[in-house]
Copies of this chain bind each other. A is one copy, B any other.
Amino acid sequence: MVRIPDSHPRKKSLESRQKIVDGSSMGLLADSAMIAHGRGEAFDYLLGERTTESAREAIRESAARLGNARRPVISVNGNTTVLAGDGAIRLAAVLGCPIEVNLYYRTPSRVKGLISLLEELRLNVSQEAAPDGFYGDWKETVEGVSLLGESPNFKIEGLEGPRSNCTAEGIGGADTILVPLEDGDRCEALITLGKEVLVVDLNPLSRSARMASVTIVDEVSRAFEGILSCLLNDSEYRQAEWDNLKSLNGSLKEISNHFSV
């Protein structure tokens, strides 16, 4: 990976870009994954590359709903795995839930490659110090995170083709799904099945963002860090009546402020 000086004001963004370029040359990502990442870069730039106030509220609400869920799951695609696979592992450890690799453009080799990457990240994360606020055996807890998706045995109703495939132990049986960077059709199908769908999406106007139960308009690794911190250190917060469109309007205003002349 190219070394970017610490002083560069957009270091984090450039490192993320490099992760996507590398993941793509390793064959982990679909053809259009880099284009999707570029769209995300533009929106993040407009948000000031920081977690905004309305995103922070959506993060708290998502953390509360994940904490209350009977069977939560984290659904990851290629970009999420490459950008924030380690964050997903930490969250899954704290929630005691599985991670499922679920791809819109599913190929067995890409699923396999992403599961291998997650296994590697799981090993790394298990060797880290436990995050602040975690009590218990971090190594053992992290090692216990199950990684699903390689052998789909369940179909998401209302979708055709390979994009409907998932597992019964993961997305199929879950009541609450944290699903960053999701496609609009799949988000809609999951909502129709009565599941709680928590989306991370930098575009507050996207169909997924408009459909979700709660939308976090933030970069995925920042969103995961925020949820983790809420789960571990903000346990007094209780799930609220949530007006998602109001929250999205907050994000739109935050972006619009960037353009005021």
**B43 adjacent to A38 (CB under 8 Å):** no
Residue in B32, B45, B259 whose CB lies within 8 Å of A255? B259
Tell me, yes or no, whether A249 is within 8 Å of chain B by CB.
yes
16 pairs, A vs B, C-beta closer than 8 Å: A34-B34, A34-B35, A35-B35, A38-B38, A38-B40, A39-B39, A39-B41, A39-B42, A40-B42, A41-B42, A45-B205, A252-B261, A256-B256, A256-B259, A256-B260, A259-B259
A31 partner residues in chain B, CB cutoff 8 A:
21, 24-25
Say if the beta carbon of A71 comes within 8 Å of chain B. Answer: no
Whether a CB of chain B sits under 8 angstroms from the CB of A4 is no
Check if A34 sits within 8 Å of B38, measured CB to CB.
yes
Contacting pair A21 B32 (CB below 8 A): yes
> A residues 18-46 with Cβ under 8 Å of B?
20-21, 24-25, 31-32, 34-43, 45
User: Which residues from chain A sit less than 8 Å from chain B, CB to CB?
Assistant: 17, 20-21, 24-25, 31-32, 34-43, 45, 203, 205, 249, 252-253, 255-256, 259-261
Question: 16 other contacts beyond A37-B38, A39-B42, A39-B45, with CB at 8 A cut-off?
Answer: A21-B31, A21-B35, A35-B35, A35-B37, A38-B38, A38-B39, A39-B39, A39-B41, A40-B42, A42-B42, A42-B43, A45-B205, A252-B259, A252-B260, A253-B259, A256-B256
